[in-house]
Chain A
Amino acid sequence: MLEVSGLSAGYGEVRVLHDLALTVEPGECVCLVGANGAGKTTLMRSLSGLLRPVQGAIRFQGRDLARTAAHDVVRAGIALVPEGRRVLGPMTVRENLEIGAFHRSWPRRQDGVDEDLEFVLTLFPRLRERLLQTAGTLSGGEQQMLAIARALMARPKLLLLDEPSMGLAPLVVKEIFATIRRLNERGMSILLAEQNARMALRTAARGYVVAEGRIVLAADSGTLQRDPMVQEAYLGV
């Protein structure tokens, strides 16, 4: 479904990603683990079109998206839940969700938007209680739920999640990851970048270890959890 090859990207003169390759098959949940600064967010930004890669191909369902702008990448079927949640603070929860479905509502409203709104509100009942509250007044966990719900409103085929556990209490992290698992069980393809390797490897079937902008290890989650290097560096064993 997603096939990244030879991807190099960076900011100005600084190269962050070097010749990186990875794949996500339909229905899979794949994680990227790695330390702060390993390049996970840069990779997510490149995949979503926010950052134009210097080199390489991002093939998604047979189309190369390496030169496609973010507003068209979401139309192709990839939605990113960005690092730091990035909810639209001055706007209400409902408006955030409407904006999530923007590409399906403008210029003409397509079918299924109301059904999807109902779906995400069932997935996150806390958001239903706060529909008319401005997003900036939500707690961190609720903002993360809203960010995921907003991405789902785009009805993506592949969901990218960048550090969904960042800054959240352990109990909330558990809740968020349970939802990610539930989404995957419903057939959503997911690529998850996460510093919390323990949670990520428990959720994803397969993982890549990213270090200094390169993939240093790729295996199924069980193998990675038993790997001595991974245990020492990321699991704190």
Chain B
Amino acid sequence: MDSAGTVLQLLFAGIGTGSIYALVAVGFNVIFKSTDAINFSQGEWVMMGGMVAAATVTATASPVWLACLFAVLVVTGVGMASERLVVFPIAKPTPLLITLISIGLAICTKSAVMLVLGKNPAGYPGFAGDTAVHLAGASIHSQTLSIIAITIAFMVLAHLFFEKTLLGKALRAAAADRDAAELAGIRVRSTVLWSFGIAAMAGAVAGAIITPLTFTSYDHGTMLGFKGFSAAMLGGLGNLYGSLLGGLLLGLLEAFASGYISSHFKDAVAFLVLLVILFWRPTGLMGTPAVEKV
């Protein structure tokens, strides 16, 4: 393979996985914005998206896209139900409390998936089958292109939702100032429910579209969650556009590190990125330190 082909190959691989990290990071960001908490079950929703889609494909022989859509709906429901069951009943929710509870939620989610869907790895073909696209010496799985397209579509829709719809604006208002939002008539506790729904949906989309490339099993969530968290930190926690930047950067770094150094370093890259960002710029690339005018 010539070097231009290698670069192109790695570039696409990086953007593909980076898109997935970006989607997972969106989930972290949406819940962080509305609760100031880090939601450790985010990665489990990613895994669940893939697992439910795989089980649906196996059980009903329905087309992959339909199974994925179904899985996204199921996991979104699970996310919202989780909020009602374990976050909403807290009398005095603090960010630390919600973060700790989300660890328990992650363990329960993982166990429930294992008990219901089993321990075996699961997978299914891409939306366009397992075909490859050849481009200037690089061979790119068609699913990589689907991932990129779906991620762009998801980001555009999320942007429109938060900027153009009243519900989206209400969520932003509640994130900006809880008391001020309450005073305007917004039920701030209910906005947390919506955030959980959106976060679970973002995670499920990521899980459903990555599974054709990587397979999945009940224990895949933790690492995906960690990667998404690193991407969110890299882009700037609480920033939707930072998610995209952080996710893509992390994906590209991983791809080129494993391509040019060794694939053993693939997972280490995320840890390294997280450490560097925490030391050097804890607010992330697009984050701004909180400044308040009084």
A residues apposed to B, CB below 8 Å: 48-50, 69-72, 74-75, 79-80, 82, 84, 86-91, 95, 98-103, 105-106, 136, 140, 143, 150-151, 154, 167
Contact = CB atoms under 8 A, between A and B. Distances in A.
B179 A99 contact: no
B180 A82 contact: yes
B173 interface: yes
Contacts of B183: 48, 50, 70-71, 74, 79-80, 82, 86, 151
Interface stretch (B57-65, B137-145, B184-192, B251-259): B184-192
Contact of A88 (B176, B187, B188): B176
Given A86-B179, A89-B176, A91-B176, A100 B184 contact: yes
Interface in B156-175: 166-167, 169-170, 172-173
21 contacts: A70-B179, A70-B183, A71-B186, A72-B185, A74-B184, A79-B183, A82-B183, A84-B294, A87-B177, A87-B180, A88-B172, A89-B176, A89-B177, A95-B169, A98-B169, A99-B170, A99-B173, A99-B184, A105-B166, A140-B293, A154-B184
B159 to A, nearest CB: 14
A89 B293 CA distance: 9
Closest 7 CB pairs of A and B: A103-B185, A70-B182, A86-B180, A88-B176, A74-B185, A99-B173, A102-B184
Contacts of A98: 166, 169
Contacts of B169: 91, 95, 98-99
Contacts of B166: 98, 102, 105-106
B173 A88 contact: yes
Contact of B185 (A75, A87, A136): A75
B176 A102 contact: no
Contacts of A70: 179, 182-183
Given A69-B182, A74-B185, A154-B185, A102 B170 contact: yes
Nearest to B163: A95
Contacts of A74: 183-185
Looking at A70, A101, A151, the one whose CB has the most chain B CB atoms below 10 A away is A70
Contacts of B170: 99, 102, 106
A102 B186 contact: yes
Contact of B172 (A75, A91, A101, A154): A91
B176 A90 contact: yes
B181 interface: yes
A228 B181 CA distance: 42
Interface residues of B, number: 21
Contacts of A140: 293
A183 B292 CA distance: 29
Contacts of A48: 183
A136 B184 contact: no
Given A91-B173, A95-B169, 15 more contacts: A50-B182, A50-B183, A70-B179, A70-B183, A71-B184, A71-B188, A82-B180, A84-B294, A86-B180, A88-B173, A89-B292, A98-B169, A99-B181, A105-B166, A154-B185
B184 A82 contact: no
Contacts of A69: 182, 187
Nearest to B185: A103
A98 B169 CA distance: 9
A75 B183 CA distance: 10
Nearest to A100: B184
A74 B187 CA distance: 11
Nearest to A75: B185
Contacts of B180: 82, 86-88
Looking at A80, A84, A102, A103, the one whose CB has the most chain B CB atoms below 10 A away is A102
Contacts of A99: 169-170, 173, 181, 184, 186
Looking at B167, B173, B188, the one whose CB has the most chain A CB atoms below 10 A away is B173
Given A50-B182, A75-B185, A82-B179, A106 B172 contact: no
A148 B172 CA distance: 20
A206 B180 CA distance: 28
A167 B293 CA distance: 11
A106 to B, nearest CB: 6
Contact of A150 (B172, B184, B293): B184
Contacts of A86: 177, 179-180, 183
B58 to A, nearest CB: 39
Nearest to B175: A90
Looking at A91, A101, A103, A154, the one whose CB has the most chain B CB atoms below 10 A away is A91
